[in-house]
Structure 1
Amino acid sequence: MGISKITADKVKERMDIEEVISDYVPLKKKGQNLWACCPFHGEKTPSFSVAPAKQIYKCFGCGKAGDPIQFIMDIEGIGFQEAIRHLAGKYGIEVEEDETRTPEQEQAQSERESLLIALGFARDFFVKNLQTPEGKSIGLSYFKERGFGPSIIEKFDLGYALDGWDNLLKAAIEAGYQEDVLLKAGLVLQSEKDPNRKYDRFRNRVTFTIHNISGKPIGFGARILTKDKNQPKYINSPETAVYHKSDVLYGMYQAKKAIRDKDNCYLVEGYTDVVSLHLSGIENVVASSGTSLTDGQIKLIKRFTDQVTVLYDGDSAGIKASLRGIDLLLEGGLNVKAVVFPEGEDPDSYSRKVGSQAFQEYLEKNSRDFIGFKIGLYKDEIEKDPIRRAEVIREVVQSIGKIPDPIIRSVYAKEASGLLEIEEEVLHAELNKILLKGQKDSFQKPPEGPDEFTPFEEFMPAQEKETSFSEILRLQEREMIRLLVNYGFEKLEGQELHLCQYLLDETEDLEFETPVYSKILKMYRYQLAQNLIPSTDYFLSVQDQEIKTEVIDLISPRHEVSTHWEKTHQIIIGRENDDLTLTGYKSILRLKRKFVRKMMEEAKQKIKNAESEKLDDTQVTELQEIYFTLKKVQIDIDRELGIVIG
């Protein structure tokens, strides 16, 4: 069933964009808006803007834009209905179902939503299995040995997959789930020998539910409890439409609030490490689930904190093999510390061995920044071997070079100089070589995001030759729509005429070529015909996502003029709405100039192709007259705009 319009309206009235987005990224106030590094693409300088007054967000790097509902749809990868349910749960709004939906509409759920529902069923099935005789004797017994009580089992949705080929499959089909959905969710497998035979992926194992950031089950990890050499210790859900391993960290849903509150994230390797640390009172912990760190996982941590502490098992060989993870964290703009446990211990075993209080004290006392940690690993080697010493110095400098902040780089270079007993100037020289090489490589890459368009930029003839007429026209059509959306309701100085009436009257005979601007213009004209001047809220409430995204882009300025310029320094900055009559007049002239230039180009092409198109002398003469008439009009417009052409 769908969600009723009443529920959707209640959510829209209650939702606050700052509260919604703050659950995913830390926002910092700058001017009238809030800013953050975009959660949708990697960046080191914040270009993600949130406007609380307008209840919209806009990224000037990747172009993502929308309202709180669209943000949840984008960040969670879910549909409109699921986004409304998510926000209703956040604000404690009771969800009313829409009884008017047809059976066909019920079947038209997206694949993603179907998978999430099936995975939720599997989670409940595994959890309930702990209360069966088999589940109690095997699964629950294992969890009790680990010290996992009812509350922690419930918190992490721990469960048990029964021993048998198709226990989950039979239960799911009986509950109305289709086999192809269970296959796509990674819950069942298809026999290679017999395509008609399907069986459970998880059998005779304890299960660890993997949640997305909002708490929905998206996959499972499962540990075998018998000593079967033919079976892997752990098996995990495969990549699906809802589960991308490279973007997920186990325990992030349970840890995100604590990570933000503590401003630190502990990073461990396994599922049980995460659960054990929660038992020790440490909730700001996530796991990479035994895989190498990815950019997606690092960006996920950075949404909530810039500080990460990596917890390593007491195995020096294993630590050295996994040091690349530290460089990735540094490159991602995180401040990295590390803790190593005694030989033969891991976070899970050591926390159970020494108890909660002693474990927390151990973490505090043994936490070292990555420079001291990395140099300490190779202490014995560099004391005995000068060549190895030089290699370690280069490795340390390579790591320092990954840090994007120049001040932090300098601080670490100074520390490394003291620990390695080498002149700081030598380290900086080597560091500069690395940085210069990195800069050279980055220059060869294409820019990260689209160039920003300056609305009032004048295109000189040489530039017009380099830019297609359709693109120039699109930009000027955009400027016209931008003025309509932002200032259309304002009256011209000393007149009863609104800016929108003036702009639309002057451009009545012009047909916009850019589809989205043409649609917005038609909507604007229609509203005006009803004696209504549409506000930005009107366009943001339409169902057409392309229009909503474009309007958000039009009303979201990337830069704001500081109030201190005028108040403190008495520097007066002119604004485009100070004289809307002049602003509107010039915008109309620019738009008409582009149309004139386009018609001139069309006439010129026809003259050039006169022979191939078999035009007679009279027709060619007419085209020449049209061209020179248009040229005269352009010169008049140029004179008005102050454009000088040699």
Structure 2
Amino acid sequence: MRIPEETVERIRQASDILEVINDFVSLKKRGSNYIACCPFHNEKTPSFNVNPVRQIYKCFGCGKAGDAVRFVMDIENIGYGEALRYLAKKYGVEIEEQEQTPEELLRQNERESLLIALNFAKTYFQELMQKTDEGKSIGLSYFRERGFTNPTIDAFELGYSLDQWDGLLQEGTKRGYNPDMLEKAGLILRKEAEGGGKAKTFDRFRGRVMFPIHNVSGRVIAFGARILKTDKNQPKYLNSPETTVYHKSQVLYGIYQAKQAIRQEDVCFLTEGYTDVISLHQAGIKNVVASSGTSLTTEQIRLIARFTPNVTILYDGDAAGIKAALRGLDMVLEEGLNLRLLLLPDGEDPDSYVHKVGADAFKAYIKQHSQDFIDFKASRWLTEAGDDPLKRAEGISDVCASITRIPDLLKRQTLSQRVAQVFHVSEQSVISEINRLLRKQQDQGRKEEERQQQRAEANNRHTASQQPATTDDINALLNSLSDADTDLPEITIPDAPFEAAPSFKVTRTPIAHQEEECIRLLMNYGAIELEPEITLCDYILEELKDIEEFQSSSNNAMLSLYRKSYQRKVILTAENFLDQLTPEQSELHKTAVTLCIQKYKISDGWAKHEIYVPTEEEIHILAKSAYQNILRIKKMLAEQRMIQIQQQMREPANSSDDADRLMLEFMNMKRVDVEISRLLGTVISG
């Protein structure tokens, strides 16, 4: 279904990019903008920048950029229409669309269809628990016995699946859901009959309490299910299989319910089980998540890092809990997070212990008994080592090995002092051990790279010996590359102040950077008057009148828009591009966002010390920037033309007149190049 343009505009106007991004990443104010570690690639230093005035974001690390709609598209991996519906729901904007039948819903893309099917299953399981005798007597009674209240049950959308073979299948079919889609969502199973008979189709979850698993934005993407009766042929817990929308290594149970509390408390408590999360949440400790039935993964740690750099692991105090804590310890450190660990009293888990002592006592226990990873490891090694010096040395080496995982050099140096204090050894011996382990890791990394390279070369030799390339193969490859270069995407730009722009590919050459700087100045300061009645746009377009087009296709597309709009007495601004270019016009939109967001900010420390730092917006600096930019473009064009002339002069077919003409043009270009170099104050080459 198409969303009317006026509705799209209402959604855009209602959306606040800070609120939208804050649902997924913790933003920190820096000057007039906000920063964070980018959610689209792994980084330790924030390069993700949000401009609330222009309602755009830009990552200077991976290049992702756009507005609120584009962010939702990228972070949720969904289409343009679905991102608009997400924002419309968030901000209460009514979308006037024709009512969709179940068949129309299922014809949408597979990801959206899977989410719709999973949401149907969630609601179905909730209704079964609240409205059927079996659901009330078994499912609801179980949650009541665990002490869960109605608000808690509603917050986590808990439910129950009847002990029937095909209850969900029948209900889903009756409501128009395709069994194939229910199977892809992991809700039903299909078993081929022996002897070529008809396949049997039945529900995956039967006679179990249901724990919906939500993604960061709150949509149900999978289920965890616990059986309540004793059946040796059935696993106690059963989880959804991996699907297009569910990858268990990338999901944390409870992250949707916990994300705001994690941001506010600036720490995330990490547990192992569903009921641990729910019980702590109900007790008022809401900044808690679980690793969703898997060993802790790097992706899960990075998900936590979106909201806080501080993690406290809460595991059971038995041998399995200690093993799990030690297994996740190095992974958390490797991602640059600050880690503390807490083992509960033997025989207790977070769920049982918070019920036993209450929320206040539980919080106090965390505060008193949580340890940093050095104390956590050292206490176990020192207990085991006793008076054995070799065991003691082994413990020091083990703690140092964890420190080598930390990417921050300053943190490593500080923690080496702590290790020396705890084990009563010299700091230099600890530093020497850390350096030895780091060198060992580097050596192992180099050896592994060499092995991979050798394997790759062996595979290439094997492939080459089996399939020798022919002249026809090479010609076909060259032709395909040539075709690819001319098969450019169509770019459509809305009506005035825009006209249709040429299609293009992004080209990154030295002159393209100067062209881009020219567009940046036009976009951000074009309407500013350098002199009375002479704007920056007047100056730049006048200076560029002898240059027919820019060499970079994307820059030339924007220059064409400026020239055509200028003829209509309109000077385009950044807002024209950001408001009128839709996310489908990805290259122009991304370029516009990139050019109008500032990467750096002048430190407030200069003002504190009463040191004045001029800014780019000041007229004399702006005029100088534009002047130098035009000079650099013309200098590069002159240098390119000189190279072309030299190539033409080498051609044997040139007559003496042609040679003289080319030599004269070369000398003129050389004089232009020398004069511009003088004006720029650069070194003139001989």
Asked whether the two chains share a fold, i.e. TM above 0.5, the reply is yes
Q: CA 1:226–1:628 in structure 2 vs 1: closer, same or farther (change >3 Å)? A: farther
Which among 332, 337, 341 is matched to residue 338 of structure 1? 341
User: 2:540 maps to which residue?
Assistant: 503
Segment of structure 1 superposing worse, 307-316 or 559-568: 559-568
1:554 matches 2:553: no
SS at match of 2:38: coil
Conserved 8 A contact 2:638-2:673: yes
Q: By how many angstroms is 1:123 displaced?
A: 0.9
Conserved 8 A contact 1:123-1:157: yes
- The superposition leaves residues 168-192 of structure 1 with CA deviations (integer Å, 9 ceiling, x where unpaired) of 2332232222334333323233435
Give the residue type in structure 2 aligned to 1:280.
A
- The superposition leaves residues 413-447 of structure 1 with CA deviations (integer Å, 9 ceiling, x where unpaired) of 3333333232233223323444567789999999x
1:388 matches 2:428: no
User: 1:645 maps to which residue?
Assistant: 685
User: 2:570 maps to which residue?
Assistant: 532
1:601 matches 2:643: yes
Conserved 8 A contact 1:280-1:360: no
User: How large is the RMSD of aligned CA atoms in angstroms?
Assistant: 3.3
User: 2:627 maps to which residue?
Assistant: 585
Give the residue type in structure 2 aligned to 1:126.
F
User: 1:62 maps to which residue?
Assistant: 62
Q: CA 1:202–1:600 in structure 2 vs 1: closer, same or farther (change >3 Å)? A: farther
User: 1:205 maps to which residue?
Assistant: 208
Q: CA 1:267–1:585 in structure 2 vs 1: closer, same or farther (change >3 Å)? A: same
Give the residue type in structure 2 aligned to 1:539.
F
Q: CA 1:179–1:605 in structure 2 vs 1: closer, same or farther (change >3 Å)? A: farther
SS at match of 1:343: coil
Q: By how many angstroms is 1:211 displaced?
A: 0.6
Which among 419, 427, 446 is matched to residue 424 of structure 1? 427
Q: Which runs of 5+ in 1 are unaligned?
A: 447-468
SS at match of 1:57: strand
Q: CA 1:407–1:103 in structure 2 vs 1: closer, same or farther (change >3 Å)? A: closer
SS at match of 2:209: strand
Conserved 8 A contact 1:2-1:101: no
User: 2:674 maps to which residue?
Assistant: 635
Aligned mates of 2:543, 2:577 — CA distance in 1: 23
User: 2:513 maps to which residue?
Assistant: 475
User: 1:413 maps to which residue?
Assistant: 416
Q: Which runs of 5+ in 2 are unaligned?
A: 450-506
Aligned mates of 2:247, 2:561 — CA distance in 1: 40
Q: By how many angstroms is 1:250 displaced?
A: 0.3
Conserved 8 A contact 2:23-2:217: no
Aligned mates of 2:230, 2:317 — CA distance in 1: 24
Identity over the aligned pairs, expressed in percent? 48
1:181 matches 2:181: yes
Q: By how many angstroms is 1:120 displaced?
A: 0.9
User: 1:162 maps to which residue?
Assistant: 162
Aligned mates of 1:107, 1:133 — CA distance in 2: 32
Which among 226, 230, 252 is matched to residue 229 of structure 2? 226
Alignment of structure 1 residues 218-617 onto 2, 5 Å = 218-320=221-323, 322-383=325-386, 385-406=388-409, 408-434=411-437, 471-493=509-531, 495-508=532-545, 509-541=547-579, 542-543=581-582, 544-562=585-603, 564-565=605-606, 568-573=609-614, 575=616, 577-579=618-620, 580-608=622-650, 610=651
Q: By how many angstroms is 1:480 displaced?
A: 1.6
SS at match of 1:342: coil
Q: CA 1:523–1:115 in structure 2 vs 1: closer, same or farther (change >3 Å)? A: farther
Conserved 8 A contact 2:50-2:57: yes
How many residues end up aligned between the 2 structures? 619
- The superposition leaves residues 335-370 of structure 1 with CA deviations (integer Å, 9 ceiling, x where unpaired) of 222221222322223334444454444333322222
Give the residue type in structure 2 aligned to 1:112.
R
Conserved 8 A contact 1:576-1:583: no
Q: CA 1:333–1:103 in structure 2 vs 1: closer, same or farther (change >3 Å)? A: closer
What is the TM-score normalised by the length of structure 2?
0.82
Q: By how many angstroms is 1:243 displaced?
A: 2.0
Aligned mates of 1:141, 1:636 — CA distance in 2: 88
Give the residue type in structure 2 aligned to 1:349.
S
Alignment of structure 1 residues 105-120 onto 2, 5 Å = 109-120=108-119
SS at match of 2:344: strand
Q: By how many angstroms is 1:234 displaced?
A: 2.2
- The superposition leaves residues 87-132 of structure 1 with CA deviations (integer Å, 9 ceiling, x where unpaired) of 34444x3413235999999776333222222211111112112132
Aligned mates of 1:433, 1:334 — CA distance in 2: 23
Q: By how many angstroms is 1:323 displaced?
A: 0.7
Conserved 8 A contact 2:102-2:177: no
Q: CA 1:432–1:478 in structure 2 vs 1: closer, same or farther (change >3 Å)? A: same
Conserved 8 A contact 1:308-1:334: yes
